[in-house]
Each structure stands twice: as structure tokens, then as C-alpha cells.
Amino acid sequence: MPAEIQELVQSLTHTTAQLARAQGGEVRQIERALTERMRAIEAIGQWIEREPEAARVMGAELAKQLKRDLDKGTQILLRFAMARELMRSDRMALDRQLQLLQGIRGWRAEGRKSISCLG
């Protein structure tokens, strides 16, 4: 495999690992890892466009490595999406509980001693 594409694939592998380590980290760290990974993928695409014959010759080997790294990245992004949905769901539940507590506090502040079904 030519040295240039080896370096590009290693860069993709490295940035995918950075993304995995960024899980649960700061948003800036995750954004930086995503940006670097996107650049690595673009660089590989540009190399394939510049060197179509070399890419064809090493097709199976290159495809295997790219598939592995892209699949890992997809799994990481899926976990991010699932975690985001879980946090959104938790926040909605907390918002409902807060509204209930605020309603109870408002009810007690009005001096009511019992609950009335009449309003």
C-alpha cells in the first residue's frame, strides 16, 4: 500500500479512536474529533480521486480498512444519538416534575388547606 494512503488511513483510525475517547467528554472535544475525522475521510476521498488506478489495485485491502473504521465511527455516532435521546427524555420528565412542584408550591402559597374539584 502506498505510504500516502497508509498515512491517511492511519489518520482515520486515529481520529476514530479520538472520537471514541471523546464520548461523555466536553462538547468542544467531541466537535473537534468529529471535524478531524471528517477531514481524514475527505483526504482519503481526494486521494482516491487523484489516484484511481492505485485505489483499484489495492481495492480489497483498502476497502476492508475503510469499512472497519467507518463502521466504528457509525457505531460511535449511533451511541451519541441514543445518549442524546435519553438525555432529552430525562429532561422532559424533569420538566414535568418541576411543573408539578411549582403547581404544588403555588397551591400552598394561596393558603388552601384541601384540594377542590370545583376549581
Condensed to tens digits (0 to 9), the pLDDT of residues 75-111 reads: 988 888 888 899 899 999 999 999 988 888 876 666 6
Q: How many folded domains does the chain comprise?
A: 1
- Determine the Cα–Cα distance for residues 65 and 71; give it in Å rounded to an integer: 10
Predicted local confidence at residue 39, as pLDDT: 93
In a domain, 89, yes or no: no
In a domain, 37, yes or no: yes
In a domain, 50, yes or no: yes
In a domain, 117, yes or no: no
Q: Could you list the residue range(s) of the whole structural domain that residue 74 is in?
A: 3-79
In a domain, 91, yes or no: no
In a domain, 69, yes or no: yes
* 33: amino acid identity, one letter: A
In a domain, 8, yes or no: yes
Question: Do the beta carbons of residue 73 and residue 19 sit within 8 Å?
Answer: yes
pLDDT of 28 strictly over 60: yes
Cα separation values, 38 from 42, 77, 79, 98, 117, Å: 6, 13, 18, 40, 59
Q: What is the reported pTM? A: 0.67
In a domain, 40, yes or no: yes
